[in-house]
């Protein structure tokens, strides 16, 4: 195990002991699920923006605006999910690669 990884695990453990009444396994399970949820929400956000950007046809304006509104709502979820994981003392997504590897 790399030193950086060990330090990261120790930091998470210290944060965990300070911030949570859950057992360590529960925190790990909740954090893993939050990470996957966050990855899925980012993926859904991008898919929604894809349709927003590429919408064509008679109802373009209505759907374009609807998808923009939905995209804003979906993106608005991301901060709460990520910060919930951080409050448990765990890390959350750090990159596009993390989104890809954690998405269901
Ligand atoms: Fe737009």
pLDDT 10s digits, 57-73: 999 999 999 999 999 99
Residue 36 CA to ligand 1 centre (angstroms)? 27
Distance, CA 16 to ligand 1 centroid (Å)?
40
CA 1 – ligand 1 centroid, Å: 45
Q: What is the mean pLDDT of the chain?
A: 89
CA of 32 to the centre of ligand 1 (A): 32
Q: 36-56 pLDDT, tens per residue? A: 999 999 999 999 999 999 999
What is the number of helices (H) and of strands (E) in the chain? Answer: 4, 0
Q: How confident is the model at residue 22 (pLDDT cuts 50, 70, 90)?
A: confident
pLDDT of residue 18: 57
In this structure, are residues 64 and 52 in contact, taking their beta carbons and an 8 Å threshold?
yes
Tokens at residue 47, please? Answer: 């898919």
Give the pTM: 0.78
**Token pair of 45, please?**
């956000």
């Amino acid at each position: 195990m790399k030193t950086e990884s060990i330090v990261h695990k120790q930091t998470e453990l210290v944060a965990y002991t300070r911030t949570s009444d859950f057992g360590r396994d529960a925190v790990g399970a909740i954090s893993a699920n939050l990470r996957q949820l966050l990855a899925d929400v980012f993926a859904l956000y991008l898919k929604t923006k894809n349709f927003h950007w590429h919408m064509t046809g008679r109802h373009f304006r209505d759907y374009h605006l609807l998808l923009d509104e939905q995209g804003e709502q979906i993106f608005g979820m991301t901060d709460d999910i990520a910060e919930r994981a951080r409050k448990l003392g765990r890390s959350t997504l750090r990159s596009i690669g993390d989104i890809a590897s954690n998405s269901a």
